[in-house]
Structures are given as structure tokens and as C-alpha cells.
Structure 1
């Protein structure tokens, strides 16, 4: 059985992309500007072992399947066909396909690409969100290469959702505006102390110090992020006000801060740890202090959480957990925060990811030289898939502002305006 025939049996004869295989067979739309290419039999082993998204991801990351054309366009066209409302393969049809491929593809198992985080590599470090295990997870994702992140993220080195004033705003301006929006929601003023947990490469810390005269401390579990941020702080002459430490957020020395920002960390905390997380942050705030929590969420609390064995968890965010906005808001509330403002920036994250994906494509050769083609392929697939996720409301991005009351006083304006006119 030719591979093109198998492709048509699985996804239908009207697939909106072109298909080409190493056996010379073709299928799909011959006029399509995107082509799925099966380069060698190893791709079939992966698909036989793990039908669906995992098998396709493994084959693509390993280079056994390739894509000619735009990744976003291909994913947009194929998601519903291959993984959603496409042709359903009956057991009898599957048996025909198996005979056509050859039983050896099902027996001859090959290991996943090295970019995949296998569950066994984490289990010996303890249960989910134990300190040593969290450190390994953060190392897996964030210590890829600072030079690689510069190619993808651009000069701001900010790996969180930007805030766009318009569709044509630059990524750098949008990241500046995001940091400034957080600063205005927090009501930063000169002389205040800010704690930024999960600070990444220190973007919020430096913005608060440079633009508001705030004494800011950031903490990150990534050693490479902390080293990069410390050098940049020194280069900008901000060492009197800004500091980034390589440290678990749970180990921040006791102290009282005027404001706390948590930008992109809650996804790594875990649902069961949210009460202690927000209670601990509340303890570090002075009465009247504010917390701004910025994180990816799922649209509803009753929807399934991120799959522990899914593609994102295996290749991008091991142990990642997404909660609904109401869950996060409830846990903040129960920890002693009065909720004063909440907004969804879902469309802004889709725009942010488009800029990152474009940066990767533009700098593809340099990125491959820096981290290898397999890792670069993971990022291309992940970022373009996430664009679709935010556009289709599979995931969202919420900022939630809470105040630790001073008695009964919130010390907030009666009608605060966070956006600049």
C-alpha cells in the first residue's frame, strides 16, 4: 500500500494540504502552498507507536517528517482534519493500514527525540513541584541558551505576553507597554520595594527601577537567566536599585514589600500549591500593598487541565498546570487579597507569539547553529500551535490585581485608569 493512499484513508481525499512521501506517492491538494513530507520509514514507526499529535511531533522534531510552507497555515488547516472532525478510522480499516505499512513498524520501537522530557527523568526528583524537580523543569525549558532566546524574543528578552496598543505596534514597544501596565496597576512610586517572582531575564525589575525609581528584587530558578539579568542590570547602571537572584520563590528571605508582581510563574506552581503560594506572597506584602498576577489560563475551570503526558508537557513545559481564571482569583481571595481588577489579554498573546515565530523563522540558521535543529523545530511547532490556541480560545491570559487591605482601606483611587490616554 502506497503511503499517499494511507494518508487519504486517515484524513480523507480532500485534505487542505499536499502530501508527499519517500516512496514517491502524493495526495491532498496539489495546488496547496503547504506540503507535508514523509522523508523516511522512521516516521511511520513514531506514528505507529503513538498515533496522533505525539507521533507527529516526534517524527517532525527528529526530522523524519518535514513541512514545506508556513507552519501556522499548515496547523490551521490540518488541526480539525487530523485531530478533530476528520475521517474516523474503523478497526477494519486500521487493520488494512497496518498490513499496508508492515507489522515491523509496530514492533520495531525507536526512542523519542532527546528534546522530549520523559517522565522517568523527573520521577526520581520527587513529586510534582518539589523544589529539586521544579529546578530541573525550569532548567529544561529556560536554560536552552540565552543567545537562542535573544534571537526569538528580541532585545527586550521578555518571555511573557506583551500588550499591544495596535496591531502594527512593534514587539519591543508592546513589551515596554506590558511592563508599564503592570507598573501602573501596582501603582509603583519612587522609593517603593518591589518583589518580582519568576522574573525571567529581569525585564520587570529593570523597568521598575529605571522608569519609577523603585528598589526591585527579582528571583528565578534559571541560573542562565539570573546571570544574563545581572549583567544587563550592570550595563544599564541600575545596580543600586535592581537585583536578580538565582533562587526559588519559596526561599525569598522574609521581608516586607510594597508591591509584588508574578508574571508567568503561576503556570509552574500547580493547583494544589496555589493556596500556599498566594498566602506566602500575602505575608510578604505590607498592609495596603498590591499583587499583580499575570498568567496563562484555561477558559473554564471545568475544562481538562494540561495533559501530563501531552506534547506541551513532554517538550515545552514539563509539570505545567493551567487553571481557570476563577480558580486563581478564588485562591488569591482566600489568601487575603481583595480583587480589584481583572482582564483577559488572550488576543495580545497570539500577537506576541506571531512576533516570536517570525523572529525564529527570520533567524532560523543562527538558531539551529545555537541549539540544534531538533530544539529549533520544537520551538517552531510549539509557538505556531500556541498562536492557534490563543486565537481559538483554547487558552487565555489573565492579569488579576489584588490588594492586601490596610484594615478596611485598599488605598486605591475610586476610578483607577491603568491605560495611558
Structure 2
């Protein structure tokens, strides 16, 4: 019996949840900026002076694009794939709004809730453990953000209309994520690299920015800004080189790699190594994209 699309999507969502349940605490232990609760990438724009500022770059860029676009006091902002709530806390201190978050990971939801209590933000921040493709019909949000999250969706084309339905008129959807390029499309080594990235990091939707724009327009969103941050990433750090060497050793035994990619720890290593290669060769790019509901 062949699998239905719904069953395939459900299986993928479960794999994403397992991946983050198993890996999140390790991500926090080896974070570039310990204590920041930031498990997304550091971005070294010219105005950044240290690691803590680099880890905050994406948060800062999002805050700048939310100010003036959410009504103070009554605004509601939703963080899709909110992780352990680091970005939510940052928003709560800078934007006069109620900040909600959704994560598929039970472990992340528990850590985030404790963080809000520790920061005295339980009245302004809340988190639910759920699939962001199955949000309740209410409330409607003035803005939604997602950092390195929508690539995990089984179908970005299906996800976008459901988000638009829950976004107020004029509201913003701000995405910071990895996007595929057309460079060397069809080249065997490129396609193998992207396949390893998809398998390792549980990627369900890998699209070009142009494809995103088309899907967004069909869903009722217009492109406001497309900011390429790839050149500000620090690739090839000592840790990254060590992982690349370890993963290279598994490449000669495909069956071993196929087994390892099913284990969340090794899956992260395999996907991360492929991501480094993809970014360095510009098969992948890291963009912050601002969309607005008409």
C-alpha cells in the first residue's frame, strides 16, 4: 500500500520533533554564545564586534522590521518554530506586543516556559508544543517570524496560505532561512550535497527565493525585502572542519551514512557538514525575507 501525502507529512513532522527533542540540550551546550539561548546562526555584519552580537544579529534585524508595523500595546506576534524562546524574549524586551511561540519539540517548549518564568515574562510570552501547520483559527496575528524553521515544513506551498489566514491585513511574515539557488543545478555533487542536507537536518521544503515569491503571491503576500546574509556567515570554523573530516570518512561507506542519518546526533553532523559545503559553493544562501499581507 502506498503512503498518502498526509501520512508522509505526519512521518516527517515526527522526525523533526525527535530531531529537536534529542539535540536541543546539546545545541545549547555547544552554542557559539553560551547562555544566549540562541540556537540559530551567528551573522557577522560589519557593525558586529563580538560573538554575542553576532548571535543577536537576526533578532535585531527582525526587531527593526517589526517596529512601526505592529500596533503598540495590543499587538500579537507569533514565532514559528520558536526553539527555546531566545528570540521571543528579545522581542518582548524591544516590541510592545504579546509574543506567542510554537515549537514541535516538547523539550524546547519546556525550556522556553522556564525561561519566560525566569525573566518575569509569563504574562507577555507563551509557548505551545504543536505543529505550526495546524494552528488554531484564532487569534489573528499582527506579525509572524520564523528563524531557520520553515524549511522543516513538509510543504511550504501548503503552509503559506494557512499562515496568511491567521495574519491580519497589512501584517508581516519575516523569514530567515536557507534557500536553494540555481547555481550548478543538475550537477551530481551538488544534488548529493543537498540530499544530505535534507536528510540530515530533516528539511521538508527547500526552495529558491524566486519560488518562494511565486508561492507567496498566490497566498496573498507581497515581497517587501530580500536581504542576503550569506557573506556574513563564518564558514569553516575549526569545529566545522573537524566535522567535515569525520563525515568524509563515512562517505566511503554509504550504508554506514544511511544508518547514521537516522540517529539525531549524527544526522545533525551530516546535515551541518552538507550545509557548510552548500553555502560555501552558493548552492544554498541564507536570506532574511520580509513579506506583507495585502
> Which TM bucket (shorter chain)?
0.7 to 0.9
| Corresponding residue for residue 36 of structure 2 | 156
1:217 aligns with 2:100: yes
User: Which protein is bigger by CA-based radius of gyration?
Assistant: 1
> What CA distance in whole angstroms lies between the structure 2 residues aligned with 1:233 and 1:297?
31
The 2-side partners of 1:387 and 1:264 are apart by 15
Among residues 31, 48, 51, which one is paired with 1:171 in the alignment? Answer: 51
User: After the TM superposition, which residues 37-52 of structure 1 pair with which residues of structure 2 at under 5 Å, given as runs?
Assistant: none
Query: Counterpart of 1:404?
Result: 293
CA distance in 2, matches of 1:242, 1:236: 10
Please report the RMSD computed on the Cα atoms of aligned residues, expressed in angstroms. 3.4
Contact residue 219 and residue 244 of structure 1 kept, 8 A: yes
Write out per-residue CA displacement over residues 333-363 of structure 1, whole angstroms, 9 at most, x where no aligned residue: 2211121111111123x41774974999xxx
- 3-state DSSP of counterpart to 2:272: helix
| Map of 2:223 onto structure 1 | 339
- Cα pair 1:268 1:319 within 8 Å, conserved: yes
* TM-score computed with the length of structure 1 as normaliser: 0.56
Alignment pair present for 1:203 and 2:82: no
Q: For residues 170 and 344 of structure 1, do their structure 2 counterparts lie closer, same or farther at Cα, with a shift above 3 Å needed? A: same
Structure 1 CA distance, aligned partners of 2:20 and 2:5?
21
Cα shift readout 1:243-283 (whole Å, capped 9, x = no counterpart): 1110111222222111111222221224xx33331111111
Give, in angstroms, the shift of residue 235 of structure 1: 0.8
Q: 1:130 to 1:186 in 2, by over 3 A?
A: farther
- Counterpart in 2 of 1:322? 206
Out of 119, 125, 129, the position equivalent to 1:236 is 119
Shift of 1:331: 0.9
- Check the 8 A contact 1:260/1:291 in 2, yes or no: yes
After alignment, is 297-306 or 189-198 more displaced? 297-306
Which of residues 170, 175, 180 is equivalent to 2:60?
180
Q: Find the aligned partners of 1:163 and 1:388 in 2 and give their Cα distance.
A: 17
- Partners of 1:246 and 1:306 lie apart in 2 by 33
Aligned residues of 2:197 and 2:203 also touching (Cα < 8 A): no
Q: How far, CA to CA, are the matches of 1:275 and 1:145 in structure 2? A: 28
1:124–1:149 distance in 2 versus 1, CA, 3 Å? farther
Q: Contact 1:301–1:323 (CA<8 Å) still a contact in 2?
A: no
8 Å CA contact 2:197, 2:272 repeated in 1: no
3-state SS of 1:297 partner? strand
Mark the CA change 1:300 to 1:186 in structure 2 (over 3 Å): closer, same or farther. farther
Which residue of 259, 267, 273 corresponds with 2:143? 259
What corresponds to 1:293 in structure 2? 175
| Cα deviation, residue 155, structure 1 | 2.3
TM-score by length of 2: 0.77
Distance 1:180 1:301, change over 3 A: same
In the alignment, which residue of structure 1 is the partner of 2:157?
275
Note if contact 2:196-2:274 (Cα within 8 Å) is conserved in structure 1. Answer: no
Structure 1 residues 267-300: Cα deviation after superposition (integer angstroms, max 9, x where no partner): 1224xx3333111111111112111122211112
